[in-house]
Structure 1
Amino acid sequence: MTLSPPALDRQSSAPLWAQFRDVLRERILSGTLAVGAKLPTEAEFGDQFGISRIVVREALADLVRAGLIYKIRGQGAFVAARERDEDFVSTVLGFSDEMARKGRTVRTQVLRQELRDATPEEARALALPPGSQVVGLRRLRSVDGELQLLVATAIPAELAPGLHRAKLENRSLYDVLRRQYGQRIVKAERWIDAVLPDAETARLLQVEGSEPLLRIESLAYNASGKPVEHYRALHRCQSSRLHLQTTT
């Protein structure tokens, strides 16, 4: 993609990076740069506008903070979708199923998948006796190419024997539980608060340490009222909103 660059005013009191940022912002908001479009590289932008890569990098970083673009490591920068509403916190469909219903593309990277003893917190939440085992999962999830969630999940091993060996990359966990183990989620409780990421979380989600995340804790139940899943998710919310619907 080649932009016909306007001349930046080097006599202006506005710094070059801000002028360049404003050019890109206008083209993104006007639709000249379409959602999902891949942006030129820093070097290409520098050649087109006659500015240094440092100037380009500062402008792009500001657009990332504003949620107008996002970066994928090794692939470059892309125009982000406008603010999106996500309903998975108010449904029992699960994240993958809710995104699929909306025609969105979800990718899941499994960082950890193991059979282990339940932590005291997990045992309390899942109503497990001492010494019980769980299938522990840690997954990194993206939507339409944008990193969105880091999720730590625990499922009672007795309800899903062998789940720690199942292939879960790019699969819906709820679909696996339903199809392979007959565990259909019918109810969930969720708690939400805001946190700042630690260094590892910031690295995995590719965020700055100052960017707040929404922390979602969930406890899901099957038709018998038995707890099936406990998770804690850290959710990026710069380009999306969580939507909750209540009824009387």
Structure 2
Amino acid sequence: MMVDVRPVDRHLPLAIHAQISDGFRTRIASGEWPPSYRLPSEPELARELAVSRGTLRKALHTLIQEGLLRQVRGKGTFVTSATIEPAIAQKLSTLSEDYASQGIVTTTEVLESGLVVPPSPVAALLNVESDGRVFRLYRRHVAVNGPVALLHNYVRATDVRGIDDIDFTKERLFATIEGVYRLKIATARRSFSAQRATAKTAELLEIAEGDPVQYLEQVTYLADGRPIEYSDVWIRSDRLRVTSLLSR
């Protein structure tokens, strides 16, 4: 998807790089480019704006200095979050894989699934056109002592045609993407925070409304750099702890 950027006006007294940074700043402030959104590559942006790479880099540098963008070597340029996000390197695994590695037995309930037009922040993160469709999957994981997690996934539908016919009470999402569609999942950006359970979340996790839950947000990328999946996950922390094994 080509990014929708405001064309520069070479007749304005404002410098071109400042026009570009103003346009990008507006998209970030409006939420059109949400936190963790990865901008297209510099060659793509420069080509669409019809400016030199040097001019584009001046605009990006301005927003990086303001804290609105961050660059990750080998990954690209991202919209920053309003909260502090220390980076922790760890193996990318799913909750189902973590359950299996720990010998935890769970069942999966599919609450909703199907092709939908995604919310605009999700569309931006997945580089989906404003009227494009994604596969939406809403599930609950239940252990022997009760529900432990809610998972709300969105997958780019153009990359996984027919995925809405798969029974995800039996199949795993990432295993399906890799095994059935032969797409190599390589990296993900994952953020954790604490939230108070909404009425619906509380009902499904069998807790009181307003009780604390651990919230996980993730954008997953293929080996070629394309985003493939976005997920919101709510975890009942008194029944499930997320642990990272790290090395320095």
One-letter code aligned to 2:93 = L
Q: Distance in 2 between matches of 1:170 and 1:107?
A: 9
C-alpha displacement of 1:219: 0.6
Question: 1:175 corresponds to which residue?
Answer: 175
What secondary structure sits across from 1:99 in the alignment?
helix
Question: 2:100 corresponds to which residue?
Answer: 100
**Pairs within 5 Å for 1:161-240:** 161-240=161-240
C-alpha displacement of 1:95: 1.4
Q: Distance in 2 between matches of 1:174 and 1:206?
A: 27
Q: Distance in 1 between matches of 2:142 and 2:177?
A: 21
Structure 1, residues 171-216: CA drift from partner, whole Å, max 9, x if none?
A: 2111111111112322111111111111111111111124200110
Q: Which structure is richer in relative contact order (CA contacts within 8 A, separation 6 or more)?
A: 1
Question: 1:12 corresponds to which residue?
Answer: none
Structure 2 unaligned spans of 5+: 1-88
Q: 1:144 to 1:176 in 2, by over 3 A?
A: farther
Question: 1:112 corresponds to which residue?
Answer: 112
Structure of larger gyration radius: 1
Q: Distance in 2 between matches of 1:112 and 1:235?
A: 18
Given that 1:147 and 1:205 are in contact with CA atoms closer than 8 Å, whether structure 2 keeps it comes out as yes
Q: 1:145 to 1:178 in 2, by over 3 A?
A: farther
Q: Distance in 2 between matches of 1:153 and 1:120?
A: 15
Structure 1, residues 57-112: CA drift from partner, whole Å, max 9, x if none?
A: xxxxxxxxxxxxxxxxxxxxxxxxxxxxxxxx943221112211222212110001
Structure 1, residues 115-148: CA drift from partner, whole Å, max 9, x if none?
A: 1112211111112232221001111112344311
Structure 1, residues 152-177: CA drift from partner, whole Å, max 9, x if none?
A: 11000011101112111132111111
C-alpha displacement of 1:114: 0.8
What secondary structure sits across from 1:170 in the alignment?
coil
Question: 1:157 corresponds to which residue?
Answer: 157
TM-score by length of 1: 0.60
Q: Distance in 2 between matches of 1:90 and 1:209?
A: 32
Q: Distance in 2 between matches of 1:219 and 1:161?
A: 20
Given that 1:109 and 1:170 are in contact with CA atoms closer than 8 Å, whether structure 2 keeps it comes out as no
Q: Between Structure 1 and Structure 2, how many residues are aligned?
A: 160
Cα RMSD (Å) = 1.8
Q: Distance in 1 between matches of 2:246 and 2:178?
A: 26
Question: 1:242 corresponds to which residue?
Answer: 242
Q: Distance in 1 between matches of 2:146 and 2:186?
A: 29
What secondary structure sits across from 2:174 in the alignment?
helix
Q: Distance in 2 between matches of 1:153 and 1:189?
A: 14
